[in-house]
């Protein structure tokens, strides 16, 4: 009887969590680039609130001489596994101080090496064997983020109701941050324009 009550309470809690959350969606217009893909829209640090990094690692692939995905937003503390999917030697290193300029070396096809991104910052990833390859890991302080598709569409789901600062990041372009109020139910639309 006691366990049934506990399950009931958990269900109520879960349902309430699901129902009391809204979505942020919108479209990004990018000027000066081929398309609006790979912009990151994210909620900036929320005062007094911290989040635990997911136990599951994210994956960054090196396939057909490209980092896939090109842009990977993660919550601080997230482990990222780097897979070499090519039968060509690749390398992963970063020139950024916030990740101690790490260099993972190179490894055979099908194998992975990993790195934990602890500090919030923008991390540039490069391959010192193939200079044309690059990627970005955007280490954030909240788990509420999304990456735009080629048309510039994005959607951040299940955001608790409240007032937040919504920011946008792009490797080449800049946009203004906005203040957004997420309703208890439904969605709010915020469009961005980014340019050089």
Partner 1 sequence: MNFLISTQRNLLFIFLLVFTFIFLAADQLSAIPAFARKYNTSCSTCHYAYPKLNAFGKAFKNNGYRYPAGQDAEMTKEEPVSLGSEGYKKVWPDAIWPSDIPGTVPVSMHAIGRVFAAGGFDDPTTTATEEDKIVSFEIPHELELLFGGTIGENLSFFGELEWEHIEEFAYEFALQYDFSPGFHLKLGSVGPQATPEHHKLTAEHYNVVDLKTQSGKFRLRNGAGGGIEFWGAGNGIGGSGGFTYAIGIGNGQNDADNFDINKEKDIFGRVTYKFGGLGEIGGTEGQTNNTSAFYEDNSFRIGGFFQKGTALATNLNDEFSVFGGDIDIWYNRLNVVALVMNMSSDYKGYDRKSLAYFVEANYVLYPWVIALARYEFTDIDTDIANPTVSSLIPGVVFMVRANVKASLEFKIPLDDASKNANKEKITLQFNFSI
Q: Does residue 106 touch partner 1 according to CB under 8 A?
A: yes
Q: Please select the residue that binds partner 1; options are 7, 10, 15, 65, rule is CB under 8 A.
A: 65
User: Residue 3: helix, strand or coil by DSSP?
Assistant: helix
Q: Please select the residue that binds partner 1; options are 107, 112, 162, 190, rule is CB under 8 A.
A: 107
Q: Please select the residue that binds partner 1; options are 1, 2, 47, 131, rule is CB under 8 A.
A: 131
Q: Does residue 148 touch partner 1 according to CB under 8 A?
A: no
Q: Please select the residue that binds partner 1; options are 38, 62, 78, 84, rule is CB under 8 A.
A: 84
Residue with tokens 């609006």: 36
Nearer to partner 1, 62 or 78 (CB): 62
CA angle 84, 170, 38 (to 5 degrees): 50
Residue with tokens 């596994």: 81
Q: Does residue 34 touch partner 1 according to CB under 8 A?
A: no
Q: Does residue 114 touch partner 1 according to CB under 8 A?
A: no
CA distances from 40 to 130, 145, 192 (A): 25, 7, 11
- Distance (Å, whole) CA 98 – CA 96: 6
Nearer to partner 1, 56 or 132 (CB): 132
Residue 31: Cβ within 10 Å count: 10
Binding site for partner 1 (CB under 8 A): 64-65, 84, 86-89, 91, 103, 105-109, 111, 128-132
């Amino acid at each position: 009887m006691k366990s049934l009550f506990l399950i009931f309470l958990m269900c109520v809690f879960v349902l309430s969590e699901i129902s009391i959350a809204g979505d942020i969606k919108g479209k990004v217009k990018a000027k000066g680039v081929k398309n609006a893909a790979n912009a990151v829209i994210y909620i900036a640090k929320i005062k007094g609130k911290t989040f635990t990094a997911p136990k599951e690692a994210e994956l960054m692939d090196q396939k057909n001489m490209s980092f896939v995905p090109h842009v990977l937003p993660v919550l601080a503390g997230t482990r990222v596994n780097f897979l070499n999917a090519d039968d060509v030697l690749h390398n992963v290193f970063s020139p950024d101080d916030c990740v101690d300029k790490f260099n993972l070396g190179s490894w055979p096809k099908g194998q992975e090496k990993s790195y934990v991104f602890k500090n919030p910052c923008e991390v540039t990833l490069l391959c010192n064997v193939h200079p044309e390859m690059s990627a970005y890991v955007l280490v954030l302080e909240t788990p509420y983020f999304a990456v735009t598709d080629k048309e510039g569409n994005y959607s951040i789901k299940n955001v608790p109701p409240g007032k937040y600062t919504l920011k946008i990041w792009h490797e080449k372009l800049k946009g203004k941050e906005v203040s957004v109020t997420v309703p208890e139910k439904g969605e709010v639309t915020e469009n961005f324009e980014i340019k050089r």
